[in-house]
Amino acid sequence: MPRTQEIPTTSPIGRSTPRVDGPLKVSGRAQYTSDFNLVGQLYAVPVEATIANGRVVKLDTAAAEKMPGVRAILHRGNIGRIFRSTLGPGLAGITDERRPPFEDDVVRYYGQYVALAVADTFENAKAAADAVPVSYEKREPNVDNELEADDEPPVVMTQYGPVKRVQSERGDPEGAFASAPVKLDQTYVTPAETHNPIELHATTAIWEGSTLTLYEASQGVFNLQGVLAQMFGLPRENVRVITKFLGSGFGNKLWPWTHCPLAAAAARQLGKPVKLVISRKMAFQTVGHRPRTQQRVRLGATADGRLVALLHDSVNHKAILDPYNENCGESTAFHYSVPNLRVAFGRASRNVGPPTPMRGPGAVPGLYATESAMNELADQLKIDPVRFRVINEPKIDEGLGIPFSSRHYLECLGLGAEKFGWSKRTPAIGSMKRDGLTLGWGMAGCAWLAARFPAEARVDLRDDGTARVACGTQDIGTGTYTILAQLTSQKTGVPLEKVDVALGDTSLPAGPLSGGSMVTGSVVPAVFQAADNAIAVLLSMATTTPGSPFENRTPDELAFEGGRVFVKADGSAGGVPFADLLRRANLRLVTASGKSEATFGNPDPKFSTHSFGCHFVEITWQPEIARLRVGRVVTVIDAGRIVNPLAGRNQIEGAVVMGIGMALLEHTIYDPQNGAPINSNLADYVVAVNADVPPIEVHFLDFPDYEINAIGARGIGEIGLAGFAAAVTDAVHHATGVRVRELPVKIEALLA
Ligand code: MOS
């Protein structure tokens, strides 16, 4: 059973803590990117291509240039130089759209920006953008839903560098599958899905001489700084990126998009700050989406339910120029024990905007396919799906051949089954009823990588008894401000409300991307080291300052606990608050930094580090009126120590809500005529809303994973979405007898 916490519950770590930035948000004082307004700023609105394949023949800017308030209509001929950027070592220079805007006159996807109207007000800029007639040489767009992999070599370029298309292989998968006593061979499809954070992407660009400041809605200010410095040919330190608050992103704000260099180029040319906020429609076209995937899964097992073969072949659509790999096999190679396995991927080029990571990239569509296949095979074997998973629990990560740092998947399954009441499930189709409704019960497992990005942080202890922590990461809305405050409070003894947190700025110590659910795990060692170093400075100062109560001591003789310095030999009962020591020494503050290395991307890891979990879902089905609802959810997550259970539960609940959308609603539809994502608004692209959300029960196990950091905390942002759709489709099958293998589940599929 879950271990008890080793840090006392009076500690700020592990305590349910409301957001420290909550009052700023609810009072409207939190400044999101588009809330920054500068004196004399201009507004830019892009002109969107209305074809998805072809060439711009003529842009007629004459009329628009004469419209009220218009300062410029910028296009390929007059915007000035915007350079390309390249991938750097480590995680540097990433972008999912390498071609700078306006680099050529070719249109490769619908909505690609072809010009930019700049005016004194947003309304004037919009009117001017709408008044630029563009003539095209049109070719037929390819947005075909049927995905056959492009002919590509065994090693291909991806957004993060070259990788092998066969990602993992062991034993004799084809042979073992061919001779398996029981087998399944099915193809699962997930549609293109579009991130819909409420906050739209925005940039305000300001030039002062050869320095560029960007207010940008970014999940990764340092990566954006590096890419934009390259695009404008500047030394990196000449670019500053600021993102104080994010109205989420789900991945589509991880990497730079073309609106950002456009705003910067316009500001350069016009000598004024330029603000560009994209529209919701543009958000479906130019800032990424989760690509459509088509995944063939072959599973072979013995009659008593032991897996003998697993083949997972996925294809995702990609844009014409960029090499996006969805990585559907992210967790396939280690999730279950199976001696013969192959995981491979391919891509199919389409006239769509570049895809980008969306919450749980790879694992989310991947686990939908593999967990669905597990459920179908369990059904064939007449083995309970929970038991089927227990039978195939691996002892080690069989993909890498190394132990797991901490894996408690079986405890997740056990606790989930117990809390849900799974033992009452009767397996026959449509056999469970309540209040005139047919019930369907389904389940699935999930996993998500856990690792650390490099991180730096700085901690100040100040003479008024407050502390400050600074780290150039971002708070995407998940609670990073609060986590940084909790970590600093834990180490310094300064109460939470007296800890100032600074983040979202490249002028701060380099912090991690808000991606991969890795921020919390990554910042722990850097913040702890910074705090330890600041305390060391304090102790040294206390022993060297004339008149200090510790003047004749050595730092070794002193200790720091709960914000007080005391002589170890005298015990912690007395002691002097650090603020007193600072005031006596006429110091406003002591300050120090800390730094920790990445574990992510380690080519030779000793342990396989992942979070695990499972979902149990009840759906209700009314065949008379074709009404399908998610009725109840129990989710159990094994993510190491949970730093803030309140924020953590909120993350998993949010992921489950998104999972309901993924399973039943979300679907970006491309018009085959012109290649446009035609449901590019929040009325036609349907996401789960309050009325779709049933009671959600979230349970966390508490097994700290000390391979990740000193408090054993892994991440929890994304895992809650992984596997969820497979649990829903399993429940749909249980109620209706229909196996839906293409998301989202449509009522039509159930009416056969
Ligand atoms: Mo997440 S897709 O790494 O923002």
Q: How far is the CA of 362 from the centre of ligand 1 (A)?
A: 11
pLDDT digits (tens, 9 = 90+) for 288-343: 999 999 999 999 999 999 999 999 999 999 999 999 999 999 999 999 999 999 99
Report the nearest-CA residue for atom 4 of ligand 1: 251
Determine the atom of ligand 1 nearest the C-alpha atom of 254. 4
Ligand 1 pocket: which residues have CB below 6 Å? Answer: 219, 249-251, 254, 357-359, 361, 515-516, 718
Cα–Cα distance between 737 and 682 in angstroms, integer? 32
Residue to substitute in 718, 719, 721 for testing ligand 1 pocket (most ligand atoms within 8 angstroms of CB)? 718
Which tokens sit at 553? Answer: 């001591």
Label residue 715 by pLDDT band (50, 70, 90).
confident
**Mutation test of ligand 1: which of 324, 359, 478, 518 has the most ligand atoms closer than 8 Å to its C-beta?**
359
Q: Strands (DSSP E) along 412-509, which ranges?
A: 432-434, 437-449, 455-462, 467-470, 499-502
Q: How close is the Cα of 287 to the center of ligand 1, in Å? A: 13
Indicate the average pLDDT of the chain: 96
Which ligand 1 atom minimizes the distance to the CA of 357? 2
* C-beta separation of 734 from 378 below 8 A: no
Pairing of strands 42-48, 113-119: antiparallel
Strand order in the sheet with 432-434: 432-434, 437-449, 610-622, 627-638, 696-700
Distance, in Å, from the CA atom of 11 to the CA atom of 490, rounded to the nearest integer, reads 6
Task: Give residue 405's pLDDT.
Answer: 97
Residue 493's alpha-carbon distances to 201, 482, 564, in angstroms, are 38, 15, 8
Atom of ligand 1 nearest to the CA of 476: 4
Helices (H), ranges, 297-384: 332-335, 363-381
Is position 718 annotated as part of the catalytic site? yes
CA of 515 to the centre of ligand 1 (A): 4
Q: How far is the CA of 324 from the centre of ligand 1 (A)?
A: 14
Cα of 439 vs centre of ligand 1, distance in Å, is 34
Given 561, 697, 718, 748, which residue is catalytic?
Answer: 718
pLDDT at 1: 43
pLDDT tens, residue by residue, 161-216? 999 999 999 999 999 999 999 999 999 999 999 999 999 999 999 999 999 999 99
pLDDT tens digits, one per residue of 487-528? 999 999 999 999 999 999 999 999 999 999 999 999 999 999
Q: Which atom of ligand 1 is nearest to the CA of 516?
A: 3
